[in-house]
Amino acid sequence: MQTAYIKSPLGITEIIGDENGISSISVLDSEKEITKEIPGVLKEAVAELQEYFAGNRNDFTFKLNPKGTDFQQKVWQELLNIPFGKTISYLELSKKLGDVKAIRAVASANGKNPLWIVVPCHRVIGTDGSLTGYAGGLWRKKWLLEHENPTTQQSLF
């Protein structure tokens, strides 16, 4: 596994992966030295994340390889279907997965998403439109939603 640390508007971003794909992208609350020489297997992910933060990318094309249970993988796959600049509620997400009663399990799997931003768990909000639960902090969730849809999101929150 290779690791790189890059600067983002939301803090230091840690990217971990190998030739099988990127297995983890997370934002850190602590300082870390920025990686000067990006490992080859991480270059595409780093470039695409930098383009995203610059406002020049709406989707990601690099290979993903997250580790999780079958259920978590199913939830994360469904998160990939949420369009850029749009949001969905936890209830809607549960319905799309075929089990409204699984809302807590869906929320838990959403919270365990190892691929920050790329698997867009930040696009899942409360049924009432509120910003609920976000491992990176609600201020980051708000920033991401406004970054992806600056015209409508600012009026929502």
> Length of the chain, please?
157
Distances 13 to 9, 16, 126, 140, 149 between C-alpha atoms, Å: 10, 10, 26, 13, 22
53 is catalytic: no
What is the C-alpha separation between 12 and 88, in angstroms, rounded?
A: 27
Q: How many helices (DSSP H) and strands (DSSP E) are in the chain?
A: 6, 5
Active-site option among 15, 75, 121, 125: 121
Percentage helix, strand, coil for the chain under 3-state DSSP, each rounded to 5: 40, 20, 45
The amino acid sitting at 86 is K
Residues that are catalytic: 121
